[in-house]
A and B are shown apart, each in its own frame.
Chain A
Amino acid sequence: MVRKLSTILATAVVASAAFAVPAKAQDSVYVPLFTYRTGPFSGSGIPIANGMRDYLTMLNERDGGIGGAKLILEECETGYDTKKGVECYEAVKGKNPVMINPWSTGITLPLIPRAAVDKIPILSMAYGLSASADGDTFPWIFNPPNTYWDGLSMIIKYIGEQEGGLDKLKGKKIGYVYLDAGFGREPLPLFDQLSRDLGFELKLYPVPADSMQNQSSQWLSVRRDRPDYMVMYGWGALNPTAVKEAAKINFPMEKFISIWWPGDDDLRSAGAGGKGFKTLNWHAVGTDFPALQDIQKLVVDKGLSQAQKNTLGEVLYNRGVYNSMLIAEGIRNAQQITGKKVVTGEDVRRGLETLDLNEARLKELGLEGFAGPIKLTCTDHNGHRPAFMQQWDGEKWVKISEPIEPMADRVKPLLEAAAKDYAEKSTGWPKRTEPCDKQS
C-alpha cells in the first residue's frame, strides 16, 4: 500500500511541478505553438511548424520581439491527436497564452466553447469550423483568410472558367475525393446545391481516415465513372496517395484540383506523374521576400531553425510563415489599441478583430506581394479573401491564375445558417458581450 501511495504521490508531484507556471519574465508575450512533427500527419505538419516557429524567432532576433515585448515560443506536440491537443491546451492555459493555433480541426472543435470562458482567442487559419467566421456568434474564434466553402466556390468558378462559363458545367461530371471526416464533409451541402443549380453531376469518393494510404477502390470507381474534373479535400497521407493513384489511372492531372493543403513533398513523392496537378493557394511560394531573407539570415543560418535549408519557401513552410504573420500582427494591433507592451489573450482578441493588413503594411513587414491584403471586422472573422490557382510543374508550384473571388452570395447564407444552428444547438451559447473596437 505504502508503495502504491508513494507512486501516486510521486506521479502527482512530478506532473504538477512539470507544468507549473514559470516565473514570468519582464516584458514578454507567451505564444504556444501546437505542432505535429510526429505521427501520420507529420509530412504536412513539419514544414508548417518550421515556418511558424522561424518567422516568430526571426522577429525575436531582428526586432527583439514585437513592440519591445519578447516572444516566448513553446511548441507542444499534438501528433494531430485530439487527446494530446486538449492536453496541450490544458498545459499552456495557465501560462497566459495570447492565442492558440490548434492546427487540427479535431482539436479546434472542443476548444471553441472554451475560448470565451478562458479568454484565449483561437486562430484556426482556413480550417476548423467554417461557421466560426461569424464574429457575432464566435467572438473568440478567427479563421482567416477563407473558409472551405469559399475554397469550393473558387474551385467551381475556376472549372467554369476552364470550360468557358459556369453554364457550360451543365451535364459535366465532377468527382470529389475527400477525407471522410468533418473537414472533408463540410463542403458537401454547398457542393450539392451547386450541382443542382449548375446542372453538373457530383460523384463522391470518400476516403476514411484509417485507409488514407489505400485508395485503390476509390480510384477504381473514378476510372469507371470517368469524371471530367476531380476535386480533392485531403490532408496528411491522403494527398500524396491520391496523386499517385490518379497518375496510375492516367487521370489528366490538370483537371485534378485540390483545396490548399497539399505540400511540395506530397507531389514530389508522386514523381513525374504529379505534373500538372493544381491547388488553390493564397500566398506566394519561394523566398524572394525581405522577411524570408531575414529568416534565412537570422534564423536558419544561425542554426536556430529545425528546417532544412532547402525547404524554405515551400508552400506549407510559407503557410506557416503566413500564420505567424497573423499572430504577430494580432499582437502588434493589440499593443496599439491598449497601449500596453505585455498583452493578454483578451487584448489580442481585439487586435485580431481590428486586423487590417493592407499593401503598405505588408511592404513594411517585408512581405510585399506575398499575399493579398486582408481586413477583419467584428462581424467578419474570416475576410473571405480570393485565392489563386497554382500548378505543380514537376519541381515547384507555379501560379497560373489571377485571384478568384469566392461566390459570396452562396457562401454567406450557408455560413449564417450554420452559425445560428451552432448557437441554437449548444443551449446556453453566450450572446456576444465583447464590445467592438474601431479599426486602428
Chain B
Amino acid sequence: MFYREAGQFKTNYAADMAVFPILQDKIGIALILTLALVVIPLAGNAFFLSVVMIPFLIFALASIGLNLLTGYTGLLSLGTAGFMGVGAFACYKLTTIFPGVNIIVWILTSGLFAAAVGVFFGLPSLRIKGFYLAVATLAAQFFLQWCFIRIPWLYNYNVSGAIEVPTRTLFGIPVTGPNASPEMRYYVVLGIVILLTWVASNLVHGRIGRSWMAVRDMDIAAELMGIKLLPTKLLAFAVSSFYCGVAGALMVFLWYGGAEPEVFSINQSFLILFMVIIGGLGSLTGSFFGAALIYILPIVLRGAPSLVGLNIGAATVEHLTFMIVGALIIFFLIVEPHGLARLWQTGKQKLRVWPFPY
C-alpha cells in the first residue's frame, strides 16, 4: 500500500539503473542516514555509542570487505582477521613514525598496506578454488598473526607486546586515545563507513562488480567473455583487504584503544565470515544485518534479564546468550538459506503487493 512504485516513471536509463530506483527506498535511506547522523548521537548515551554502534559499524565494514571477496567474487577467505591486523599495525607504525599527519589519513592509508598483503596471499587464487583457497588464506591468517607476535618492530619493541593508541586530534578535538569522546569517535567511524559503503556500492554495481560476479558464477565462462581472471581476482583481494585493513585500524584506534595480537586471531575471521553468511552473501545490506545479528543481539540478550527484573548470574546469562544466538542462526538459515538480506528482499516484495498476495 505504502511501498509501491505505481506512478513513478523512469524517463532515462540512469534513473532505471539507480541503486535505489523507488522513491520509498530513497526516503528510507535518507531516514536511516538522519537517524545515524543526528538522532543516535543526540539520543544515545556513551554506552550505546561506544559499545553498540561503533563496534557494529566496524564489524559491518569488515563484513563488507569479506563480502566483496566471498559474496561477490566467490573466493572463500579465512584470513580476514589477519588483514585487519595488517591495517591496525600499519596504522600504528605510520602514526608513530609520522605523528604530525592526520590520523584519518593514516587509517585510510593503512588499508593500502592490507591491500598489498591481500594481493600477495591472493596469488594462489588463480589456481585453487573453494575449500583449497580457504586453506591458503588460513595460512595467511596464521602467518600474519605469527608476524604480529614475533616481529617486535611492528609494536615498537613494547615489552607488553601490545599496541597502545596515542592521542590524535582532528580539528583540535581528540579522536583517538582515552580523551576522545564517544560522539567524536562515532562520527569518524560513521563517516568512514558511509564513504566506503558508498564506494563499495558503486564498485559492485559497475563494470568491476559485474566482472567479479561473472567470475563467481562461472569462471570459465567469464574468461571466455574476455574477463582476465588473475587481475579480476587479485583486484577483489586488494579491495577486500583494503576494507578489512581499514576496519582493523578503526577497531584498534577508535574502539579498543590498544590491542594484543590475540585480538586478530582465527576466531575473529570466523566471526566475520559468519556475519557475511548470515547477513547474505553478495549483499551490502546483508553485511549490516549480519553484523547486527551476531554482534548486537548478544548484547541485547545480556541486558534483557535485568531489564525485566530477573536476577540471573552473569555466567548463566552468557550460556543462555550462546544458546539463543545459536538457535536464532539456525532458525534464520532454515527460513532463508540465503541470509537476512534475502529475507529483507522477500519482505519488501511482499509489502509491494500487500494486501493482495498473489
> Does A associate with B in a complex?
yes
Q: Which residues of A contact B (CB under 8 A)?
A: 1-5, 8, 11-12, 14-20, 35, 37-38, 74-77, 79, 82-83, 86-87, 90-91, 93-94, 105-106, 109-110, 112-114, 116-118, 129-131, 180-182, 185-186, 189, 208-210, 306, 418, 421-422, 425-428
Task: Give 15 new A-B contacts, CB below 8 A, not counting A15-B48, A15-B52.
Answer: A1-B27, A11-B292, A11-B300, A12-B52, A83-B263, A86-B51, A86-B255, A90-B50, A93-B46, A105-B160, A113-B178, A118-B178, A182-B260, A210-B265, A422-B164
Cα A382 to Cα B299 in complex, Å, equals 35
Jot down 6 A-B pairs with beta carbons below 8 A, ordered by A: A11-B52, A14-B304, A37-B314, A106-B162, A109-B258, A425-B158
- Interface residue stretch chosen among B28-36, B227-235, B239-247: B28-36
Residues B55 and A8 in contact, CB atoms below 8 Å apart: no
B161, A182: Cβ atoms closer than 8 Å: yes
**Chain A's nearest CB lies how many Å from the CB of B214?**
31
User: Given A15-B300, A114-B257, are A210 and B266 also a contact pair (CB < 8 Å)?
Assistant: yes
Contacts of A93 in B (CB 8 A): 46-47
Contact of B32 among A5, A20, A421 (CB under 8 A): A5
Interface size classification for chain B: 35 or more
**B201 on the A face (CB < 8 A):** no
Closest to B344 in A: A4
Nearest Cβ on chain A to B319's Cβ, whole angstroms: 6
C-alpha gap A211/B304 in the complex (Å): 35
Is B315 a contact of A18 with CB atoms below 8 Å?
A: no
Q: What are the interface flags for B293-317 relative to A under an 8 Å C-beta threshold, 1 for contact and 0 otherwise?
A: 0001001101110110000011101
- Whether the Cβ atoms of A91 and B315 lie closer than 8 Å is no
Q: Interface centre among B40, B43, B99, B318, by most A CB within 10 Å?
A: B318
Q: Are B162 and A87 in contact (CB under 8 A)?
A: no
In the complex, what residues of A have CB within 8 A of residue B257's CB? 110, 113-114
A14 touches B307 (CB 8 A): yes
Chain B's closest residue to A80 (CB) is B262
B292: chain A residues within 8 A (beta carbon): 11
Please measure, in the bound complex, the distance between the C-alpha atom of A267 and the C-alpha atom of B343, giving whole angstroms.
51
Determine the distance from Cα of A16 to Cα of B263 in the docked complex, in whole angstroms. Answer: 26
CA distance A17 to B99 in the complex (A): 40
* Set of chain A residues within 8 Å of B159, measured between Cβ atoms: 130-131, 185-186, 189, 418, 421
Once bound together, how far apart are the Cα atoms of A14 and B178, in whole Å? 27
Partner of A306, one of B46, B263, B313: B313
B24: interface (CB < 8 Å): yes
List, in ascending order, chain B residues with CB within 8 A of A74's CB: 314
Q: Report B-chain residues with C-beta under 8 Å of the C-beta of A94.
A: 45-47
Is B259 in contact with A110, judged by CB distance below 8 angstroms?
A: yes
Q: Are A106 and B262 in contact (CB under 8 A)?
A: yes
Give A421 to B152 CA distance when docked, in angstroms.
15
Known: A306-B313, A427-B166. A16 touches B48 (CB 8 A): yes
In the bound assembly, the distance between CA atoms of A3 and B262 in angstroms comes to 38
CB atoms of B99 and A75 under 8 A apart: no
Cβ-neighbour of B296 out of A15, A17, A117 (below 8 A): A15
- Interchain CB contact under 8 A, A12 and B40: yes
**Is B314's CB under 8 angstroms from A76's CB?**
yes
| Chain B positions within 8 Å of A181 at CB level | 149, 161, 260-262
Nearest opposing residue in chain A for B36, CB measure: A8
Within 8 Å of chain A (Cβ to Cβ): is B223?
no
- Complex Cα distance, B257 from A131, in Å, reads 18
Q: A91 — which chain B residues lie within 8 A by C-beta?
A: 47, 51
Indicate with 1 or 0, residue by residue over B164-197, a CB within 8 angstroms of chain A CB atoms: 1111000000000111000000000000000000
Q: Which residue of B lies closest to A79 (CB)?
A: B318
B349 contacts A by Cβ under 8 Å? no
The reply on B5 being an interface residue by CB < 8 A is no
Decide: A109 and B164 in contact? CB cutoff 8 A: yes
Distance from A82 Cβ to chain B, minimum over Cβ atoms (Å): 6
Is B256 in contact with chain A by the CB < 8 A criterion?
Answer: yes
Q: Among residues 264 to 300 in chain B, which have CB atoms less than 8 Å away from a CB atom of chain A?
A: 265-266, 292, 296, 299-300
Contact B51–A90 (Cβ < 8 Å):
yes
Check if B3 is an interface residue, CB within 8 A of chain A: yes
How close is A60's CB to chain B, nearest CB, in angstroms? 16
Specify which chain A residues have a CB less than 8 angstroms from the CB of B258 in the assembled complex.
109-110, 112-113
CA distance A426 to B24 in the complex (A): 49
Asked whether, in the complex, the Cβ of A16 is within 8 Å of the Cβ of B260, the reply is no
A118 partner residues in chain B, CB cutoff 8 A: 178
Question: Contact between A18 and B303 (Cβ–Cβ < 8 Å)?
Answer: yes
CB pair A113–B318 under 8 Å, yes or no, is no
Q: Taking CB as reference atom, which chain B residue is nearest A81?
A: B267
Complex partner residue of B262 from A8, A14, A82, A427, CB under 8 angstroms: A82
- Given A1-B28, A109-B162: A15 touches B303 (CB 8 Å cut-off): yes
Name the residue in B44, B166, B260, B300 with the highest tally of chain A Cβ atoms < 10 Å from its Cβ: B260
- Counting from the closest, the 5 A-B pairs by CB-CB distance are A18-B303, A37-B315, A1-B28, A75-B314, A110-B258
Do A18 and B300 touch across chains, with their CB atoms under 8 A apart? Answer: yes
Q: Is B217 an interface residue (CB 8 A)?
A: no
* Chain A residue nearest in CB terms to B285: A4
With a cutoff of 8 Å between Cβ atoms, the chain B residues found around residue A14 in the complex are 300, 303-304, 307
Q: B172 to nearest A CB, angstroms?
A: 13
Closest B residue, CB atoms, query A179: B262
Q: Tell me whether A15 and B262 are in contact (CB under 8 A).
A: no
By the criterion CB–CB under 8 Å, are B299 and A15 in contact?
yes
Give the complex CA separation of A11 and B307 in angstroms: 13
Q: How far is the CB of A399 from chain B (nearest CB, A)?
A: 31
Bound complex: CA of A106 vs CA of B162, how far in Å? 9
Give bound CA distance, A113 to B306, whole Å: 30
Chain B residues with CB under 8 A of A2: 2
- Given A3-B347, A106-B262, A109-B164, also A75-B296 (CB < 8 A): no
Question: Shortest beta-carbon distance, A110 to chain B, in Å?
Answer: 4
With an 8 A cutoff between CB atoms, is B156 at the interface?
Answer: yes
- Contact between A427 and B99, CB atoms less than 8 A apart: yes
Residues on A with beta carbons closer than 8 Å to the beta carbon of B322: 38
Alpha-carbon separation in the docked complex, A210 to B306 (Å): 34
What residues on B are CB-neighbors of A8 within 8 Å?
32, 35
A115 (CB) vs chain B CBs: closest residue? B178
A233 to chain B, nearest CB (A): 13
Contacting residues, chain B, for A426 (C-beta < 8 A): 164, 166-167, 177
Known contacts A12-B40, A181-B161, A427-B166; decide if A110 and B256 are in contact (CB<8 Å). yes
B166 to A12, Cβ gap below 8 A? Answer: no
Cβ-closest chain B residue relative to A112: B258
Q: Which residues of A contact B256 (CB under 8 A)?
A: 82, 86, 110
Q: Are A12 and B44 in contact (CB under 8 A)?
A: yes
What's the least CB distance linking B40 to chain A, in Å?
Answer: 7
Contact A425 B318, beta carbon cutoff 8 Å: no
Q: Is the CB of A37 within 8 A of B43?
A: no
B42: min CB distance to chain A, Å: 12
